[in-house]
Amino acid sequence: MNLILFGPPGSGKGTQAERLREKQGLRHISTGDLLREAVARGTDLGNRVKSILASGQLVSDDIILALMREEIARTAKGWLLDGFPRTVGQAKGLDAQLDELGQKIDALVVLNVGRDAVIERLSGRRTCSNCKTVFHVKVNRPKVEGICDRCGGTLVQREDDKPGTIAKRLDVYEAQTQPILDHYRGRVPIHEFDGEQPVDEVTRSIERVLQ
């Protein structure tokens, strides 16, 4: 089974992706993880990506498509895309790549979350600078303020989790990413869920549809 998990930043895609990965036996391919890995390596591409992410804008299609094609091509048992495609142009590029690879999209899983809820969720996140474990100032606080429970690393607020950047990311999402649903409507099954419900309830709803 090949799935695309779709929704605004902060809609819970990462959590649901991990659960789907375990339940369905899929390979979770996250553009966010791929891009952060590129930044951490400090390559020319990574430095380009770093400045783009900090501004809240989208990384260019050619960079994203190059990263994603390599990952999809070496995944034979089913994949789950998280955070990709983000533009209709990327969706069309993905369609062409899948045709070349003899693969297809089986369904879109859409998490709907309101703008205010997204800003509250993301601006409260704190990420370990060492092991990347994520905490939250309200719903998942560390035992010691500013210190990771898992490895003792320092917790930081990612640049793209700051309120001003979040607002820009949502503006971009509404203008450039939401139209992807129209691109796939009638061609690929689209299943929409209320992402503001409790996490476990969202998971159960998704699992019922995908059974």
Identify the CATH assignment for 3-112+164-210 out of 3.40.50.2000, 3.30.70.20, 3.40.190.10, 3.40.50.300.
3.40.50.300
Of 90, 89, 74, 93, nearest in space to 29 by CA: 74
Q: Is the pLDDT at 39 greater than 90, yes or no?
A: no
The answer to whether residues 204 and 114 touch, using CB atoms and an 8 Å cutoff, is no
Mean pLDDT of 98-106: 94
Q: Where do we find the tokens 């369609």?
A: 95
Residues with Cβ within 8 Å of residue 150, at least 6 apart in sequence:
128, 131, 133
Q: Is the pLDDT at 43 greater than 80, yes or no?
A: no
What is the pLDDT, as a whole number, of residue 56?
A: 78
Mean pLDDT of 149-161: 94
Q: Which of 13, 36, 121, 126 is catalytic?
A: 13
3-state secondary structure 130-190: CCCCEEECCCECCCECCECCCCCCEEECCHHHCHHHHHHHHHHHHHHHCHHHHHHCCCCCE
What is the pLDDT, as a whole number, of residue 60?
A: 82
In the chain, where the domains are located: 3-112+164-210
Q: Which of 21, 86, 121, 126 is catalytic?
A: 86
The span from the CA of 187 to the CA of 195, in Å, is 24
To the nearest 10°, the Cα dihedral for 26, 39, 64, 87? 100
72's enclosing H/E stretch is helix 61-73
Return the percentage of the chain with pLDDT > 90, whole number: 61
Q: b/e for 96-106, b at 16 or more Cβ within 10 A?
A: eeeeeeebebe
Q: Is the pLDDT at 204 greater than 90, yes or no?
A: yes
Q: Which of 27, 132, 158, 162 is catalytic?
A: 158
What is the pLDDT, as a whole number, of residue 38?
A: 78
Q: Is the pLDDT at 142 greater than 80, yes or no?
A: yes
Is 158 marked active-site? yes
Q: What is the CA radius of gyration of the chain?
A: 17
More confident residue, 73 or 96: 96
More confident residue, 45 or 124: 124
What is the pLDDT, as a whole number, of residue 113?
A: 95
Is 86 marked active-site? yes
Mean pLDDT of 71-98: 90
- For 6-36, how does the pLDDT look when each residue is reduced to its tens digit (9 = 90+)? 999 889 988 899 999 999 899 988 887 788 8
Pair of tokens at residue 146 = 């500013």
Mean pLDDT of 152-157: 96
More confident residue, 84 or 76: 84
Is 204 marked active-site? no
The span from the CA of 105 to the CA of 100, in Å, is 13
Q: Which of 21, 36, 121, 169 is catalytic?
A: 169
